[in-house]
Each structure stands twice: as C-alpha cells, then as structure tokens.
A and B are shown apart, each in its own frame.
Chain A
C-alpha cells in the first residue's frame, strides 16, 4: 500500500478523479434509490448534463421525441441506461491521456475498456449481481495503465521483448521494470477516489482473481470481461494477449467455459446497441 501510494504521489500527471461516478454508483446501489438526488448529482455539472442529454437522444430517441432534461431521461430510459451514459462520459475524462508506450493509438484503450465493461455487465447480470458495479469496474480496469504509461516510455522495447522472449505477461514485465504493475496501481487509485471496495479490489486483482479474497467474484467478472473484449477484437497495443489464463476465474464467477462464447455473442449484441458509448 505505501509503495503504491509513494508511486502514485510522484506521478506528475494523474488522471482526473471521476468523482461523480463513485457517488452515482453509491446512490444507485441503495435499494431506496432517490431520483432527485441522482438528478441533482448529474445536473451539478452543466457540461456533463448537456452531454448526457445529447447522447441519450442520439442513442435512444433519434426517431422520437427527444428528452429535455435529466429527470425526463431517467424516467423514460431508466436508471441503468442513463448510468452507463454518465459512466462513459465521466470515465472517458480519466482516459484522456496518451498511452503510447503500451502501443495504443488514440482511443484504443478506451474502446477496449467499454467492451470489457459491457462483457462484465452481461456476466454480472446473468449471475444476478449489481450490473452497474461490474460495468464500472470493467470500464476502469486498466486505469493504472494511464498512470504507468509515462514511466514506461523509456522501456517499451523491453516490454515487447520480455513478453515475447520469456513468455512473461505484461503485468509481470511492468513489475520487473517499475516495481509496480497497472492492476494494483489502478485498484489503489480507485480506493483513494472512494469507489466501493468490491470495485477497487476487482480492479487490483483483475489479472489474478483468485487473490482477491472476499471480492474474488467481482475480480473474476472483470477478468473475464477483459478477456472477452480481447476475444472480440477489442484488443490493442503491444503483445495484447500477453496475460495469463486463470481457469479459477470461471469457478469463482460461477460460469462454465462453454458459456464464454455465449457471453461473447451477448456482448456483441450489447455493443451493437450502444455504439454511441464508444466515441471518446
């Protein structure tokens, strides 16, 4: 923990904290959800409000009567649709930097993240768990790469060579080069930003879900969501497949390996519906 904080504290440019997102997630997790609080949280940021309305209308009301305010969007679309639009808008700000050292072109890490979010959401839904939480964890699972990208700039050739030559995962090579890796950095950052512990832990262990203690299930949703995104050609950057297969993730998530293709198909359909979420 101290090592992670020390690392985070010396980084010159941290991604902006998506505070609205952690607050919104908390509000929506409450069974006695209060719509007026949700509206006031979103409308607190005028630029966000305008964007939310614009995307809601583009995605859902292109051929119908557009919505004019957040309250109306919530009542016509439901909390979950609006939440996902808010999540991508707020989340995108945290991914606005360059991650060139990982070999990502502009927007690629973001598109991978949205695909992983939708896949994690589909799995959580199937298991009767909080789909918004899984979506958000999937969306932010690689936030640590934004933090490490700068330090990796001088090492990116080593990143490629070591994964190739010694069949190490990207995570293991990060650790050997920088003494920290993107999953634990991301998890700690989200913890500092007051996201719920199941979410920050899921991100911290999204490459080793078996180590996530009481949040193994959530880490497995994110692990599998990430994998499904790679299986669906939302797979970018250097050595995109250099991570380890963890068979235990299937048991911990409570799904069979035969189910994976079906979740890929479900995610494909979800992606078709929400093309609007992918535009950074």
Chain B
C-alpha cells in the first residue's frame, strides 16, 4: 500500500476496518475509529520518523485463508506481517519500533461464546512473541469503543473513548502511560 503524499498542514488519514496505512509524512495523523472488539495497532520509529496503523477484526486468517490473502489487514497474523513488511520499506526497524494497541472490548457475560475481543488480543500477544516484538502501551478490554490516533511527527499515540470528547495520551516521548 503506497504512503499517502500530503503537504502543508496536518491531515488525518483514516484507516478503515480491515485496513492499514503506513507513512513517513510527518504532517499525517493516522486515525482509526470506534474499535469495538477489533484491535488498532500502531508502529512508530522515531529515527526513521515513520510508522503505520492496522485495524484488525479477527484473531487468525485460519478462519478464511483466501480472505487472509485478499485482505491481510482483517486478521491479526496476516495483518501484522503486512504492517512489519510495509513499515520496513520506510526504514522502520523492529528493534526501534514503538508498538501500541487499543480495542478488544468485551460484552458482559461472554462465557467464551462471544469473546472475540479477548481472542484478538491473545492472538496479538502470541504473534508479538513470535516476531520478537515488545508491546509498549495498551488500552484494551472493558465495555467501551475507542478511536486511535498516531501522530507521525512525534510518534504520539492518543485514544478517544466513544461518547467522550477528550482524548487520552497512550504513548508520548518514550514514556509509557498506562490507561484502561
């Protein structure tokens, strides 16, 4: 997926469901809206001043391998592979990248039947381990839907809880901030 070219002023690049964007344009803010049980995942490398955002919907492409090929960003496994590959093209290095995650909301009384949010998150933890990646900051679980923003000039990651008007910082200046 090509990096969008933007000039002059800050601009929101919206990442839809089962979609991804990467960029080294420091005027861009990668944005994804209303992550319910889905996960928003951001990578940022402050040396390369580049990063990416992924909005996955399901834990594994084993559910539909053909779809995994056609639409890698729908699943944790194929989505992460693609995000790693595409950010590497912008000189993002695994050793330097700051990874954040948000979403994974859970209904009340899921009793294992409707726990897609939890399964997405567990799958993500496993894949991170496989790729030797560290998760730097997260806002996961609970009853709320969240929007996520990655500012490409600073690498700051922010969260907005659906229904609320203020944003919270999830990552800033190499300092992890723990929020729920």
Q: Could you tell me which residues of chain B, from 74 to 120, have a CB within 8 Å of some CB in chain A?
A: 74, 105-111, 113-114, 116-117
- Given A231-B37, A239-B143, A261 and B107 touching (CB < 8 A)? no
How would residues 199 to 242 of chain A score, 1 for a CB under 8 Å from any chain B CB and 0 otherwise? 00000000000000000000000000001001111111111111
| A276 in contact (CB, < 8 A) | no
Query: Which residues does chain A contribute within 8 Å of B162, judged by CB atoms?
Result: 103, 235-238, 240
Query: Which residues does chain B contribute within 8 Å of A250, judged by CB atoms?
Result: 113
Residues A233 and B114 in contact, CB atoms below 8 Å apart: no
The one of B18, B55, B105, B109 in contact with A235, judged by C-beta atoms closer than 8 angstroms, is B105
| A245 in contact (CB, < 8 A) | yes
Query: Which residues does chain B contribute within 8 Å of A227, judged by CB atoms?
Result: 107, 114
| A110 in contact (CB, < 8 A) | no
| A192 in contact (CB, < 8 A) | no
Residues B57 and A103 in contact, CB atoms below 8 Å apart: no
CA distance A265 to B117 in the complex (A): 16
The one of A238, A240, A262 in contact with B36, judged by C-beta atoms closer than 8 angstroms, is A240
Q: Could you tell me which residues of chain B, from 18 to 54, have a CB within 8 Å of some CB in chain A?
A: 18, 33-38
Across the interface, name the chain B residue whose C-beta is closest to A250: B113
CA distance A250 to B111 in the complex (A): 13
- Given A167-B108, A242-B143, A268-B18, A233 and B163 touching (CB < 8 A)? no
CA distance A91 to B71 in the complex (A): 32
Q: How far is the CB of B161 from chain A (nearest CB, A)?
A: 9
Task: Say what secondary structure dominates the interface of chain A.
Answer: loop
Across the interface, name the chain A residue whose C-beta is closest to B64: A265
CA distance A244 to B109 in the complex (A): 6
How would residues 154 to 170 of chain B score, 1 for a CB under 8 Å from any chain A CB and 0 otherwise? 00000000111000000
Residues A230 and B36 in contact, CB atoms below 8 Å apart: yes
- Given A233-B55, A240-B105, A268-B18, A103 and B163 touching (CB < 8 A)? yes
Residues A257 and B105 in contact, CB atoms below 8 Å apart: no
Known: A235-B37, A243-B107. 5 other contacts (CB 8 A): A230-B37, A232-B36, A232-B57, A239-B143, A241-B142
Q: B interface vs A, CB < 8 Å?
A: 17-18, 33-38, 55, 57-58, 63-64, 67, 74, 105-111, 113-114, 116-117, 142-145, 162-164
Q: List 15 A-B contacts (CB under 8 A).
A: A103-B164, A230-B37, A230-B145, A231-B36, A233-B36, A235-B34, A238-B164, A239-B143, A240-B105, A241-B36, A241-B37, A242-B107, A246-B109, A260-B116, A261-B58
State the 9 A-B residue pairs at the shortest beta-carbon distance, nearest first: A103-B163, A235-B36, A238-B163, A240-B145, A245-B110, A241-B105, A235-B145, A241-B143, A245-B109
